[in-house]
Amino acid sequence: MNTVTIFMIPQQFPCGPDSSCCGPIGQTAEEIAALEQAIRTELPCEVQIVDASLGSNMKHHLPVARLIQSMGAQALPIIALNGEVVSLGNPRPEEAVSLLKSKLNVEVS
């Protein structure tokens, strides 16, 4: 079975929630749940969610850890299919599904 892994960090406000210097980084639980649900509904695959903010979670995902290290939090979420990175950044769920379908050679509707 194919495995889709979504690497994410929980949304946080580095300068504080009321700061005007920068906005939030990371993803809300709702954003990740919508992405996960869309993938599970449309594709025959297992979906794993990995919190990339926990270093211990990234020991087995060194290429993704290096991407985050070089590109920063704006690269998240990172979506991988069977260990191969297929998406960087914050796609809409339907965009992610379409991309994964094309990688899996599943007809895109």
Which CATH number covers residue 72? 3.40.30.10
Whether residue 48 is contained in a domain is answered as yes
In a domain, 43, yes or no: yes
Counting the structural domains of the chain, the total is: 1
Does 56 reside within a domain?
Answer: yes
**Whole-number Å distance between alpha carbons of 48 and 55:** 17
Give me the domain span that covers residue 51.
2-9+25-103
The verdict on residue 15 lying in a domain is: no
- 14 prior amide bond cis, ω within 30: no
Which of these, 7, 2, 109, lies nearest to 66 by C-alpha position? 7
User: Of 48, 43, 108, which is closest to residue 78 (Cα–Cα)?
Assistant: 48
Segment 54-105, tens digit of pLDDT: 989 999 999 999 999 999 989 999 999 999 999 999 999 999 999 999 999 8
**32 domain-assigned:** yes
Please indicate, yes or no, if residue 14 is contained in any of the structural domains.
no
| pLDDT score for 80 | 98
Q: pTM of the full predicted structure?
A: 0.90
User: What pLDDT sits at residue 107?
Assistant: 73
Tell me, yes or no, whether 18 lies in a domain.
no
Distance, C-alpha 66 to centroid of its chain: 15
Does the residue 90 lie in any domain? Answer: yes
Does 108 score more than 70 pLDDT? no
pLDDT number for residue 55: 86
Report the amino acid identity of residue 64. V
Give the contacts of 9 (CB within 8 A, at least 6 positions apart).
25, 26, 27, 51, 52, 53, 73, 76
Q: Using one digit for the tens of pLDDT, what is the confidence trace for 2-44? A: 999 999 999 988 777 777 777 788 999 999 999 999 999 999 9
